[in-house]
């Protein structure tokens, strides 16, 4: 039987990560499934509301580009969170590339213009963690402390998605009052990704991630390559070519 740790901590691993204390802290990661024959590009919008211990609230936002080609290769960005009032574009921090055919995972550090690779021992899941653990037909029953609600289907960005809401009532360690924590997912079986995810905890705040601008054509192959001029840490840059 999955516990609160197995359900919500899995969700928070890619929704909340750690508490964001800086307005320009990195945004949360987004789980991309490396499945073939379902190419698309999209923009993921993140909205984050943080409730601080003194009762003050910080509102942040971010966007990122994601892509997957017919081979199942993925391009998944990580950008900074900026204040909602800011007109600045969120800074691109890292890019994750993965090729399911070679199992090579590549992490690109945009600030340092470096990258490193590793070969995965096992391929990543073809379904988001929230779907594996929370869906009614998943491989584990819901926790006795967690209530699930099937929200039916709706269209998001021209794609059909099925919604699931999980709620759990816990006791606040500070004041002993009951707190209702809510997780909501809208999953596309066609694209095999969550089109919308929302995590709400009154003690800490809310994070919502939504896919927009879905384009189901083949992405530019450059999305899945390390940009020119990037080197491995400790490696010497290649000499400039004679002009």
Least confident of 77-81, 228-232, 239-243: 239-243
Which spans in 33-122 are helix H?
none
Predicted confidence at residue 235, as pLDDT, reads 58
Domains in the chain, start-ordered, CATH in brackets?
4-224 (2.50.20)
Q: Is the pLDDT of residue 7 over 70?
A: no
pTM of the model: 0.77
Predicted confidence at residue 129, as pLDDT, reads 65
pLDDT digits (tens, 9 = 90+) for 107-118: 999 999 999 999
Question: What is the C-alpha separation between 47 and 27, in angstroms, rounded?
Answer: 9
- pLDDT-derived band at 30, boundaries 50, 70, 90: confident
> In the chain, count of helices (H) and strands (E)?
3, 12
Angle 180-183-186 from CA coordinates, rounded to 5°: 150
pLDDT digits (tens, 9 = 90+) for 139-177: 444 556 788 899 999 999 889 999 999 999 888 777 778
**Nearest to residue 27, comparing CAs of 39, 36, 18?**
18
Predicted confidence at residue 28, as pLDDT, reads 62
pLDDT digits (tens, 9 = 90+) for 64-111: 999 999 999 999 999 999 999 999 999 999 999 999 999 999 999 999
Predicted confidence at residue 150, as pLDDT, reads 94
């Amino acid at each position: 039987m999955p516990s609160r740790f197995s359900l919500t901590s899995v969700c928070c691993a890619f929704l909340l990560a750690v508490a964001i204390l800086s307005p320009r802290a990195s945004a949360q990661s987004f789980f991309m499934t490396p499945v073939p024959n379902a190419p698309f590009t999209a923009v993921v919008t993140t909205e984050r509301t943080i409730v601080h211990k003194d009762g003050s609230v910080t509102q942040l936002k971010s966007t990122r580009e994601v892509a997957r080609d017919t081979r199942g290769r993925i391009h998944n960005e990580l950008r900074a969170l900026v204040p909602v009032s800011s007109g600045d574009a969120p800074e691109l921090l890292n890019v994750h590339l993965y090729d399911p055919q070679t199992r090579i995972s590549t992490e690109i550090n945009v600030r340092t213009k470096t990258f490193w690779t590793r070969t995965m021992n096992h391929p990543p899941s073809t379904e988001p963690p929230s779907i594996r653990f929370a869906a009614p037909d998943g491989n584990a029953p819901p926790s006795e402390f967690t209530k699930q609600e099937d929200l039916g289907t709706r269209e998001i960005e021209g794609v059909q998605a099925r919604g699931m809401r999980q709620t759990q009532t816990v006791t606040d360690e500070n004041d002993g009052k009951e707190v209702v924590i809510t997780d909501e997912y809208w999953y596309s079986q066609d694209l095999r990704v969550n089109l919308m995810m929302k995590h709400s905890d009154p003690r800490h705040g809310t994070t919502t991630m939504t896919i927009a601008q879905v384009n189901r054509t083949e992405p530019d192959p450059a999305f899945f390559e390390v940009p020119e001029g990037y080197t491995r840490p400790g490696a010497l840059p290649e000499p400039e070519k004679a002009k």
